Amino acid sequence: MKPFPPLLSPTDPFPDPTQADREGWVAITRELTPQRLLQSYPLGIFPWTENPFTWWSPDPRGILPLDRLHVPTRLERTIRSGKFTLTINQAFDEVILGCAHRSQGREESWIGPAFVQAYCQLHRMGHAISYEVWKEGALAGGLYGVKIGNFFAGESMFHLVRDASSVALVLAARSLHQEGCQLFDLQMVTSHTAKFGAIEVPRDEYL
């Protein structure tokens, strides 16, 4: 039998994510391309590391119900104060590089050069979006993710100024809700995203 998770060639389809191992590991590839990314997200699969590239579909799955977004009172006051200027898709490259720089402080940095290149290409194709938070003309924080139809996957966020990443998350959630987005995928729920109403759902229900 072929070992699981399998090493896929550039033309191999992804395996059934419900057959992933206990941690949600689905497959391995040697390449990360926009085409692979566009194949993976509709299947509930996303990349997580490089050298090699590993692909995952965790169970349970973290999502943010857009119709039940909770914004803490203090953060709402900050948003309304005018302290920050908010934009969408005005600085995608800067946002993903900000996220990559932040991740380098972790034991395992997953936003390497290949991730930056692939997602910037995906952005130019119209399938990756950034949400920017500025203070006094400088980028204070942001969030980027993948949007395919009515689906959005939040990939990463960063901040250089207190609250900026949280403001970016609220900006993304409210904008997507207004656009009729039906699913905001967070991959996993953290203590931070739980404050905004993030929940876990079984993978079978997510898929």
Pairing of strands 151-159, 183-187: parallel
Q: 1 lies in a domain?
A: no
Q: For 95-127, b where at least 16 C-beta lie within 10 A, e where not — what string?
A: bbbbbbebbeeeeeebbbeebeebbbbbbeeeb
Q: 2 lies in a domain?
A: no
Question: Tell me, what's the pLDDT at 4?
Answer: 62
Q: Which residue range is the domain that position 47 belongs to?
A: 7-58
pTM of the predicted model, to two decimals?
0.92
Here the CATH number for the domain that contains residue 34 is 3.30.70.3550
Contacts of 194 (CB under 8 A, 6+ apart): none
Here the CATH number for the domain that contains residue 185 is 3.40.630.70
Q: Give the separation between CA 25 and CA 4, rounded to whole angstroms.
A: 9
Question: Tell me, what's the pLDDT at 71?
Answer: 98
Question: Tell me, what's the pLDDT at 15?
Answer: 94
Residue whose tokens read 């966020």: 157
Please tell me the total count of domains within the chain.
Answer: 2
Does 49 share its domain with 79?
no
Q: Give the separation between CA 59 and CA 189, rounded to whole angstroms.
A: 11
Does 187 share its domain with 99?
yes
Does 49 share its domain with 83?
no
Q: Per residue of the chain (207 residues), what is the pLDDT tens digit?
A: 445 688 999 999 999 999 887 789 999 999 999 999 999 999 999 999 888 999 999 999 999 999 999 999 999 999 999 999 999 999 999 999 999 986 544 445 579 999 999 999 999 999 999 999 999 999 999 999 999 999 999 999 999 999 999 999 999 999 999 999 999 999 999 999 999 999 999 999 998
Does 181 share its domain with 151?
yes
Does 31 share its domain with 78?
no
User: Which among 16, 40, 58 is the end of a domain?
Assistant: 58
Does 106 share its domain with 47?
no
Q: Give the separation between CA 74 and CA 103, rounded to whole angstroms.
A: 27
Does 176 share its domain with 96?
yes
Question: Tell me, what's the pLDDT at 102?
Answer: 66
